[in-house]
Amino acid sequence: MGAQLPLIWLWYFWQYFLILDLIFYILFPFAFFFGIILLIINSAIIARIFLIFINLIHKPREGVFLRHKSDIDYCFWSLRALVRKWPTWLARQLSLPLLEILVLKILGVKTSFSNSLHEGWIDCEFIKFGRNVRIGQGTLIISNIIINNKLILKKVNIQNNVIIGAHSIVLPGTIIESNSILDAISMTKINQKLERNSIYRGNPAIKVEDVEFINNYEQLREAIFDRRILGKYDKENLKSHVKELSVPFHFYIITGWLIIGCSFILPGFIFFFFLFIILLPNVFSIPFSLNLFSDLKIPILLLITPLIIMTLYILHLFFVALFTKWFYSIADKRGPTHGVYDRKLDESSRMLNYYHFSSFLFKYPIFAIIRSPFPWLLNWELRFIGSNKIGKGTVFEDTFFHSHINFGRNCYIGTFSHISNHLVDGVYGEENLTFFGVNIGNNCVFSLSNGAMPGLKMADIN
């Protein structure tokens, strides 16, 4: 729906250059970017209209709800999250924070253009920001959390001039008063109130110091830029003279190229066919006027175009998964299963080469799907490649993924949590590589920013 306006704009733009000349090619990227910005703002507005209708049917409220289909609040919360997903994803992709804040404002978050929020991850409802708030990379500010089978929704309020460090987590119900600092890697409790002008640290966050404790610019500068510190350090401690591990890069590049390139053949064919045979003669080269909407052909084509582009994108992702599956099954058959291996530099191990190769193969399809607008396809893709077993109803937020990790039914893996299937330890040159799969039972919940090590086994929750 949101794509209609930019398409009409492109049509309008195309009008002026029926003979495709130099000026057209130079101006086209401008028109293209303008179209994208139009698309983002337009889809945000449409999402907002949807939200208004949904809120009319059922008013969003704070509280503790059951994580089950029978709870009406839970259902409407999921629906609202779904509607918000597409515009926020689009705004995030272009990595233009001003646009992102504009989209957040359209979606109803109280924020200001002087904030910098784009590096972290924030929820889009029940959140209120003051002015000049800065949050670090990987910070999570959430107003909803799933604990066991309960969903908690509560308002978060962050006031002026607050700085939140990298990888911190702000839980629902937190109030951070103005001028405070939350240190890196700390976590607030639910309903915690952080006082003004203070520095908080730890898990849960405890007041350590007043902001005023750093008060002398000259002293601090002297302390940090003390030349004696560098003088003490031996440069030899930085360079090592061991033999390097050999990695067959040429082999990786060829397979990667084959997988990605071949996945473009069919979508590319359809794209060119659609653009040059159908769209150009029927829409773009017809003189632009709004009267033409009386002819049914043009509105239908305009409606179909975004659908076709989406389908092509999904087709591309499907082919990536298909080709990866073939290569992966070869690498997996010849590679190691589980165990502890020596990563020796002197002898080349065929097992290890296949292990490295399979984890290389695994990277792109996951990367492509998680960054696409359809992250829920991940479950299908992993089952399709055959690397993981994933039960029905399992939900993944923005996570890092590995092979040989099996999930039961109805699991929930929170944002930035990370379950690993391998571990490297030791001194370079005589390292150990521990490679073990993970089994996770039914109904398990991984909360935010959690980690799990190889060889974990989790029982079911009933």
| Distance in Å, CB of 163 to another protein, minimum | 5
For residues 417 and 451, is the Cβ–Cβ distance under 8 A?
yes
Q: Does 281 bind another protein (CB under 8 A)?
A: no
Phi and psi torsions of 154, nearest 5°: -150, 150
Task: Point out which span in 79-87, 152-160, 188-196, 418-426 binds another protein (CB under 8 A).
Answer: 418-426
Q: Does 282 bind another protein (CB under 8 A)?
A: no
Site for another protein in 316-355 (CB under 8 A): 337-340
Q: Give the x-and-dash track for 34-73 against another protein (CB under 8 A).
A: ----------------------------------------
Work out which of 2, 35, 136, 414 binds another protein, going by CB under 8 A. Answer: 136
- What separation in angstroms does the CA of 238 have from each of 224, 233, 235, 241, 380? 21, 10, 6, 10, 45
Q: Kindly state the helix (H) or strand (E) to which residue 170 belongs, with its residue range.
A: strand 169-170
Q: Does 400 bind another protein (CB under 8 A)?
A: yes
* Contacts with 251 (C-beta within 8 Å, 6 or more apart), sequence order: 357
Nearer to another protein, 68 or 338 (CB): 338
CA distance linking residue 390 with residue 379, whole number of Å? 7
Site for another protein in 75-114 (CB under 8 A): 95-98
Nearer to another protein, 55 or 202 (CB): 202
| Distance in Å, CB of 245 to another protein, minimum | 7
Q: Does 25 bind another protein (CB under 8 A)?
A: yes
Sequence letter at residue 407 = F
| 133, burial (CB in 10 Å: exposed 0-12, middle 13-18, buried 19+) | buried
Q: Does 232 bind another protein (CB under 8 A)?
A: yes
| Distance in Å, CB of 214 to another protein, minimum | 5
Q: Does 449 bind another protein (CB under 8 A)?
A: yes
Q: Does 160 bind another protein (CB under 8 A)?
A: no
| Distance in Å, CB of 428 to another protein, minimum | 4
* Contacts with 332 (C-beta within 8 Å, 6 or more apart), sequence order: 358, 386, 387, 403
Work out which of 239, 243, 250, 392 binds another protein, going by CB under 8 A. Answer: 239
Site for another protein in 351-370 (CB under 8 A): 363-364, 367-368
Mind spelling out the 3-state secondary structure of 31-56? HHHHHHHHHHHHHHHHHHHHHHHHHH
Number of H helices, E strands in the chain: 11, 26
Neighbours of 381 (CB within 10 A): 22
Work out which of 48, 92, 196, 201 binds another protein, going by CB under 8 A. Answer: 201
Work out which of 4, 42, 78, 179 binds another protein, going by CB under 8 A. Answer: 179
Work out which of 192, 329, 372, 439 binds another protein, going by CB under 8 A. Answer: 439
Q: Does 264 bind another protein (CB under 8 A)?
A: yes
Task: Point out which span in 49-57, 58-66, 76-84, 431-439 binds another protein (CB under 8 A).
Answer: 431-439
| Distance in Å, CB of 156 to another protein, minimum | 18
Task: Point out which span in 62-70, 74-82, 201-209, 299-307 binds another protein (CB under 8 A).
Answer: 201-209
| Distance in Å, CB of 59 to another protein, minimum | 35
Q: Does 16 bind another protein (CB under 8 A)?
A: no
Chain centroid offset of residue 372 CA? 9
Give the pair of three-digit tokens for residue 166. 């990298």
Work out which of 73, 416, 442, 443 binds another protein, going by CB under 8 A. Answer: 416
DSSP letter string, 51-120: HHHHHHHS----EEEESSTT-HHHHHHHHHHHHHHHHHHHHHHTT-HHHHHHHHHHTT-B--TT-B-TTS
| Residue 2, beta-bridge partner list | none
Q: Does 425 bind another protein (CB under 8 A)?
A: yes
Integer-rounded Cα radius of gyration of the chain:
26
| 407, burial (CB in 10 Å: exposed 0-12, middle 13-18, buried 19+) | buried
Number of residues forming the site for another protein (CB under 8 A)? 108
| Distance in Å, CB of 114 to another protein, minimum | 9
Work out which of 55, 112, 191, 219 binds another protein, going by CB under 8 A. Answer: 219
Q: Does 122 bind another protein (CB under 8 A)?
A: no
Work out which of 2, 165, 172, 414 binds another protein, going by CB under 8 A. Answer: 165
| 17, burial (CB in 10 Å: exposed 0-12, middle 13-18, buried 19+) | middle
Residue 191 gets the label, from left (phi > 0), alpha (psi -120 to 50) or beta, of left
